[in-house]
Amino acid sequence: MAMQNGDVKRIIKNTAFTSSRMLFLMIVSFFTTRIVMQSLGFVDYGINNVVGGLTSMLVFFRSSLSNVTQRYLNIELANKNQMGARQVFCQHQSLYIVIAVVIVLLAETCGLWFFYHKLVIPPNRQTAAFWVYQFMIASVVLTILSIVYDSAIIAHENFKAYAYVGIYEGIAKLGIAYFVKLVPWDRLITYALLVLILSVSVRIIYMIICRRNYLECHFSFTFKRDTIRETSSMIGWNTVGTLVWALNDQGIDILLNMFFGPVINAARGITKQVNAAVTQFSNSFFLTVRPQITKNYAMQDQAALIRIVLSSSKYGFFIIWIIALPIILSIDTLLRLWLHDVPEHTNKFAVLAIIFSLVDTLNNPLWSLALSTGRLRRYVLECSGIWICVFPVSYVLLKLGYCPESVFVANILFRSAYVVAAFLIVKKNVPIPVISYTKEVLRPIVCTIAISLTICLILDSTLPSSAGKWIWLSLWSVLVSVVTIWSIGLSDGERTFFLSSMKNYLSSIHRHK
């Protein structure tokens, strides 16, 4: 069951822009992380990671707000209701101003108490960590206030601008990393301050783009009782789900800090960089798919809706698998080449985080579909009820003396249960056949993993050991993954469709020359 030709062309075009952005940011990020860690050292790098995690917990609903705004804008734009889109923009921005004020109050009271009494920070670095915390609060508030602009760009599918701004952001971060390496004063404070300044500039650019190109992006303070209740309900349920996510993600950082100190947070921070490199191409793909899911739901085209959910689930997983397999097989060599000095546990953390992301990929289309329907209550209650178990289970495991890797294993197991529950709940609102999902999504994925992984493990054991073995192994693993996906993962109809689409695309390029 392939997506329709119009959907595919739009998604391919948008994915090209977002993937170019992500590829550039990934390459720059590797250099930036290495330079920053060398400049700050393991302790300061770990402090920056855990303090940033604490700040993120205070704004656990940032992604929730963005999802809700995109949902409402997509529906109004799909129905060509310009006045409705303007009302969504103003209503949501007014609500976010109130939320930003609450964030500051929480951060400077409860957040500061937790900062001083629970985090493990060396006494001689507490002042620097305090300023890092303040700068991150300012950055978070700025991000909250700019969510409506980011959402407008995505709703209008202006991924070209999104890509260009991302390139600017990547170059600036690399420049900051080199500058911090040269300064004679406190490098941690300098780094956090410059990152805040960069965040301000990026948000200003997005605001200018929106105000110049989209009529709805002109703010006036608005609170309408007839819409605030529905919006607040969506945000509320979305927030509960994201709060549980933040508790597990950022809460794990804090647990690791409490049991093992800031150096383990350096390993966790590096792991996030590796995982981001693996998942960002899939995330780019889903970023372009999400508006199509919402618009198909708004137009009540159920057949197209089911088609795009099934197809995107499988394609998103395959995108990650092509990148993940060579990294998993050569993780130790890659980390040494990248960082030289690698914190303990980083290699195992990275492999387990990649496995988690492979599982989580299957949830992305399901969550987008649930958000489009607006029926979040049962989804959030039941799925979050499963997912919230990760934090207490992780605490018990660490308290009993288990290794830090145990928390990642718990994440993988509970996320697998979460995805199963999400599918069963979404199926009640949009009748996705279990047989179709099993046949068109799960079976191709399982067969692709089994065959490609077996072949690559055999290659790993037979290739002669040498300094360049990882290069050959990586090239072979990518080739094996692509061939297996093409021959086993895709149906005959999908192969024919993609060949036809590629032929038409190349023909259109030739005609334009």
Angle at 510 between CA 507 and CA 513, to 5 degrees: 155
Average pLDDT over residues 424-429: 87
To which residue do tokens 């303070």 refer?
221
pLDDT category of residue 393 using cuts at 50, 70 and 90 = very high
* Alpha carbon 80 to chain centroid, angstroms: 29
Q: pLDDT, tens digit, for every residue of 21-50?
A: 666 666 776 677 777 777 777 777 777 776
pLDDT category of residue 423 using cuts at 50, 70 and 90 = very high
pLDDT at position 252 = 83
Average pLDDT over residues 69-77: 78
More confident residue, 14 or 304: 304
For residue 274, what are its two tokens?
């590796």
Q: Residue count of the chain, please give it.
A: 513
The answer to whether residue 173 scores a pLDDT higher than 70 is yes
Q: pLDDT, tens digit, for every residue of 249-274?
A: 777 888 888 888 777 877 887 787 77
Is residue 2 helix, strand or coil?
coil
Question: How much of the chain, in percent, has pLDDT values that exceed 70?
Answer: 85
For residue 73, what are its two tokens?
């804008």
Q: Which amino acid is located at 105 in the chain?
A: L
pLDDT category of residue 485 using cuts at 50, 70 and 90 = very high
pLDDT category of residue 506 using cuts at 50, 70 and 90 = low
Average pLDDT over residues 85-100: 83
pTM, two decimals, is 0.70
The answer to whether residue 454 scores a pLDDT higher than 90 is yes
CA distances from 44 to 104, 264, 331, 446, 507 (A): 25, 12, 24, 41, 54
Is residue 354 helix, strand or coil?
helix
The rounded mean pLDDT for the chain is 80
pLDDT at position 509 = 54
pLDDT at position 2 = 47
Average pLDDT over residues 230-241: 71
Most confident of 124-128, 151-155, 209-213: 209-213
For residue 307, what are its two tokens?
């088609």
Average pLDDT over residues 160-187: 82
Q: pLDDT, tens digit, for every residue of 305-342?
A: 888 888 888 988 998 898 889 989 988 888 888 777 78
Cα atoms in the 13 Å half-sphere on the side-chain side of 464: 1
To which residue do tokens 């656990």 refer?
60
Q: pLDDT, tens digit, for every residue of 130-145?
A: 888 888 888 888 888 8
pLDDT category of residue 1 using cuts at 50, 70 and 90 = very low
Of the listed ranges 42-46, 312-316, 394-398, 437-441, the one predicted with least confidence: 42-46
Is 61 within 8 Å of 243 (Cβ atoms)?
Answer: yes
Please give the Cα distance from 499 to 154 (Å, whole number): 29
Is 383 within 8 Å of 377 (Cβ atoms)?
Answer: no
DSSP character string of 457-474: HHHHHHSPP-TTHHHHHH
Average pLDDT over residues 234-258: 77
